[in-house]
Structure 1
Amino acid sequence: MTNTSKRTGLVQDRRTLLTGAATFTLFTPGLTFAASGDLAAVRKAAEAGFDASVKRIQDWIALPSIAAENRDMDKGADYMMALARDAGFQQVEKVPTDGHPGVFATLDVGAKRWMGIYFMYDVKQFDPAEWSSPPLEARIVDKPGFGKVIVGRGAVNQKGPEAAFLAALHALRAAGRKSPVNLVLVCEGEEEIGSPHFHQIVSRPHILAALKRCEGVVIPAGWQSPSNGGVSVNLGAKGIVELELVASGAKWGRGPRTDIHSSEKARVDSPAWRLVQALTTLVTPDGNTPAIDGYFEKVRPLTARERELIGLAAQRMSEADAKRALGVDRWIDDLPWEKALERLASQPTINIEGLVSGYTGPGGKTVLPGRAVAKIDLRLVPNMTMADCVAKLRAHLDKRGFQDIEVNVSGGYDPTETDENSRLIRAELNSYKRLGVETSVYPRLAGSWPGAVFTSAPVGLPAGQFGLGHGSGAHAPNEYYVIESSNPKVEGLVGATMGYVDFLYEIASIR
């Protein structure tokens, strides 16, 4: 099988639609691209660049920048700068912050319109013992039902989709074409710890001025459904607060200052049990609904339009796929599919990411720990704010006598919302429709990204996600990204690359 036939990643019926002049016009993005006849040349360049695109992902995975561990952060920023220059960005700079550095770049081709692109170069931590192949080797393996995939930390979150976007710029240049829009690229290395300093990057005067010229900002994505190839166009995302709650004998004034023998529990207080008692006050007894005083005061209920969109999405999205991907059999309260989707979009959450105290190794070790830590994330919906939620958490604990429990916030940001009628959302929908991709419009992503930095003042832009292709396992072992799809409904790397080309032309021409 030749590289061209093997690696396009596009389903056969879409490929054949490009063989005739009449159908060619139907599947080109916007009037500009339709008139230019460029699509075949760019596709040929993307196919020829497949091996280089794969290696770009693998090399990037091999350099893990992990903000939580302060691991290779400067190297990660330098590598991101090199990737941007290699893709054709003319102005590239490292942007210092009070934390880890970001990257800012522009590609000015003299086009009428500008488009903003958001990248992150950091990844989550990993334990190699949990992986089927080493998480930094980026091995290419056959995954039944999907095809050839790259397995590695950051494969889908976010290096695979981001590399596919860069591949689109490489393909345009290799085909002798310019990008149809000018680009502003803003990158950070702290997304996985809640983007605590990203606002410092965006608020720099020359970066803010560049962003204000843009039609909007997108983060590349690869979320096609394996069952029908469908995607969701999200009109926003939940906000997040990442924090630790810490109980200690030293701060409490009771219990031990260090671990002591567990026999002393008969006469010594336990910081670990104190933390457990504090945690139980934060949620209802089933653990599913926040119970912090005043937590729902600012929560905006779903609008009639949002409920309508969720109802339509429930008809198009596969409940079985969702449960299979999550490894769950039932939703909270055994909710039916549509009600589960409503809850996913509308409810703020308080989640325990991890509990750490005392000895956690093999066997037992009879200690009474002097310190206990709960790693917590709060997911926020409109019109909640990070500052208000942290203040309410602190007040809630204080009111119940837990003044000694430390609240250490590491990062976070507010929820984000984007107008359904903005050019950005309409361009996404137009591109997906033209490419034959089933699309659901959904009120907001249940996960979080720092889109609020773009949608709120002083930037004030539409922001969202766009992309074809598929991957899964973000934050988990065996994270993967499909590069050669055996599923006729899901694009491989070349198909994802061409999706970004289509989208950029759509942004250039949409009215």
Structure 2
Amino acid sequence: MAEFTRVRDGVDRRDFLALAGASALALGTPAWASSAARYPAIRKAAEAGREAAIKRIQDWIAHPSIAAENLNMKEGAEYMANLAREAGFDSATLMPTDGHPGVFATMDNGAKRTLALYFMYDVKQFDPAEWSSPPLEGRIVDKPGFGRAIVGRGAVNQKGPEATVLAALHAFRAAKVKLPVNLVLVAEGEEEIGSPNFHQVVQSPNVLAALKKAEGIFIPASWQDMNGHVAVNLGSKGVVELELIASGEKWGRGPKGDIHSSMKAMVDSPAWRLVQALNTLVTPDGNTAAIDGWFENVRPLTPREKELIAEIARSGDEATQKKLLGVTRWIDDLPYAQALERLASQPTVNIEGLVSGYTGPGGKTILPGRAVAKLDLRLVPNQTRKEVVEKLRAYLDKKGFNDVELKVTGGYDPTETAEDSRIIRAELATYKRAGVKATLNPRLAGSWPGAVFTAPPVSLPAGHFGLGHGSGAHAPDEYYVVESTNPKVAGIVDAVMGYVDMFYQIAEVK
């Protein structure tokens, strides 16, 4: 079991940082440490601000905003806006929506170019019983192979990486160095429920006008693997989150509420009704959507995308990926390269959860009057959220399931960004200068609301960028490495300097 050390009071934190500095010297100097020569004043400020940067993450973790539970949403937006102001943004404004508010902030540095940043201040739900330390405590623990990490809900998704960007801005201010780019920050509090209202923030006149001046936008990331490698994503799948609901009331058969299970001999079951509807959506193995017209707009992989995937397969570690996922084989026992092609190219219909009747200990012998399936649909170019929802509804109706309700809770279209766009070239140049191997990835299988930026009327190239490592998003014991004992992986100060260099690369790249 890892030794737990809280970094909260001054003594513990200073001891921790002193030990961390000693371990870094013992490990030798990684390539990105050359940032000290390029930006000596900023590097010195980042090192001096390391303690504050760690505490900033811990304090933010202690203030969760959970959109799915309507928990601390206005407070979370105000907290986000205050963090932006403290980091040097000229203004930070709460942006009302039909749901939870967003935040809009700008920083005019008199630069020729502008860079946009996407943040989220909401986090996923959590069950403290599933965690090895309290999920809002931000405890520092050992992570073998990586170093010391903050554990807490939102540590890597996204408060750790976002707070590291803010730490970079604090370092500029402390060093009295003006940023080489102007900044636009847009943040939302509904990412974890599918960003249903974020477009209202982005398309408001003042935000849209500011974004139109930007070279591109990125979401902070910390995806270095144990070897220090990263992926540069040229797009992401879209997603639709929804519920399918079968009920005796809507069906006109079965009970309107729960009844004794002995009545199943003469009463229809809404739960079985839902199971039958779900079975029609996919092929018998559950792996391919069977919805009419599902694939008609799907764009096949281009030769260049296949080439990039083949390189990922050659350089990747299939055994380690399977181990991390807890699987022993891919769909249809596909070879690794073909499995990766499927991952990038195939839209999916996935069951997130099934809820009906009694699920506690023991039995309760009821016939439920209602059953709910939570689904997510992952989309690829050229599918759209609107299209797939309409096709799903039409298909259910065609199959005779008019009574099964379809409730969309969030989602957005897929994204694509050109390989030769300025933001992608700046990312690659920053990683190269840091000595980090970066592999181009045609499409992230996960999703983020980047489509609100890449699609009209904004039409910005968008991506993910950042040094460092974290994992466990949406899961118990989510973590973010703040002090690396792995010479190939950046700790928080080196991750800060990665963002510093990215700002300069955006300003300089042709």
TM-score, scaled to structure 1:
0.94
Partner of 1:183: 183
Cα deviation, 1:308-340, whole Å, max 9, x if unaligned, reads 011111122222332222222221112111111
Cα deviation, 1:422-481, whole Å, max 9, x if unaligned, reads 001000000001101011101011000011100000000100000011111101111001
Partner of 1:22: none
Distance in 2 separating the partners of 1:442 and 1:15: 23
Q: Is the 8 A contact 1:74 1:101 kept in 2?
A: yes
Write the mapping of 1:273-292 to structure 2, written as runs, cut at 5 A: 273-292=272-291
Q: CA deviation at 1:258?
A: 0.4
Report the secondary structure of 1:71's partner residue.
coil
Distance in 2 separating the partners of 1:343 and 1:184: 36
Partner of 1:124: 124
Distance in 1 separating the partners of 2:347 and 2:77: 33
Structure 2: stretches of 5+ with no match in the other structure: 1-16
Describe the shift of the 1:274–1:4 C-alpha distance in structure 2 as closer, same or farther (beyond 3 A): closer
Write the mapping of 1:184-203 to structure 2, written as runs, cut at 5 A: 184-203=184-203
Q: CA deviation at 1:282?
A: 0.5
2:76 is equivalent to residue 60 of structure 1: no
Report the secondary structure of 1:13's partner residue.
coil
Partner of 2:333: 334
Report the secondary structure of 1:118's partner residue.
strand
Partner of 1:34: none
Write the mapping of 1:253-292 to structure 2, written as runs, cut at 5 A: 253-292=252-291
2:13 is equivalent to residue 14 of structure 1: no
Partner of 1:384: 383
Q: CA deviation at 1:278?
A: 0.3
Describe the shift of the 1:16–1:164 C-alpha distance in structure 2 as closer, same or farther (beyond 3 A): closer
Partner of 2:159: 159
Q: CA deviation at 1:12?
A: 2.6
Describe the shift of the 1:10–1:493 C-alpha distance in structure 2 as closer, same or farther (beyond 3 A): farther
Q: CA RMSD in A?
A: 1.6
Q: Is the 8 A contact 1:235 1:444 kept in 2?
A: yes
Q: CA deviation at 1:302?
A: 0.2
Distance in 2 separating the partners of 1:242 and 1:16: 40
Describe the shift of the 1:7–1:102 C-alpha distance in structure 2 as closer, same or farther (beyond 3 A): farther
Partner of 2:343: 344
- AA of the residue aligned to 2:474: H
Report the secondary structure of 1:115's partner residue.
strand
Q: Is the 8 A contact 1:156 1:222 kept in 2?
A: yes
Distance in 2 separating the partners of 1:314 and 1:384: 26
Between 1:90-99 and 1:138-147, the stretch displaced more is 138-147
Q: CA deviation at 1:488?
A: 1.7
Cα deviation, 1:333-362, whole Å, max 9, x if unaligned, reads 121111111111001011100000000011
Distance in 1 separating the partners of 2:329 and 2:27: 33
Q: CA deviation at 1:7?
A: 8.0
Describe the shift of the 1:6–1:58 C-alpha distance in structure 2 as closer, same or farther (beyond 3 A): farther
How many residue pairs get aligned? The number is: 494
Describe the shift of the 1:6–1:355 C-alpha distance in structure 2 as closer, same or farther (beyond 3 A): farther
Distance in 2 separating the partners of 1:468 and 1:110: 27
Partner of 2:393: 394
Report the secondary structure of 2:262's partner residue.
helix
2:39 is equivalent to residue 39 of structure 1: yes
| Percent pairwise identity | 70
Q: Is the 8 A contact 1:9 1:483 kept in 2?
A: no
Q: Is the 8 A contact 2:103 2:186 kept in 1?
A: yes
Q: Is the 8 A contact 2:104 2:207 kept in 1?
A: yes
Distance in 1 separating the partners of 2:468 and 2:25: 9
Distance in 2 separating the partners of 1:438 and 1:400: 50
Report the secondary structure of 1:245's partner residue.
strand
Describe the shift of the 1:429–1:470 C-alpha distance in structure 2 as closer, same or farther (beyond 3 A): same
Distance in 2 separating the partners of 1:274 and 1:494: 55
Structure 1: stretches of 5+ with no match in the other structure: 19-26, 29-36
Q: CA deviation at 1:14?
A: 2.4
Q: Is the 8 A contact 1:9 1:494 kept in 2?
A: no
Describe the shift of the 1:9–1:326 C-alpha distance in structure 2 as closer, same or farther (beyond 3 A): farther
Distance in 2 separating the partners of 1:506 and 1:9: 28
Distance in 1 separating the partners of 2:248 and 2:372: 12
2:251 is equivalent to residue 235 of structure 1: no
2:421 is equivalent to residue 422 of structure 1: yes
2:214 is equivalent to residue 214 of structure 1: yes
Report the secondary structure of 2:142's partner residue.
strand
Distance in 2 separating the partners of 1:493 and 1:290: 42
Q: CA deviation at 1:372?
A: 0.2
- AA of the residue aligned to 2:30: R
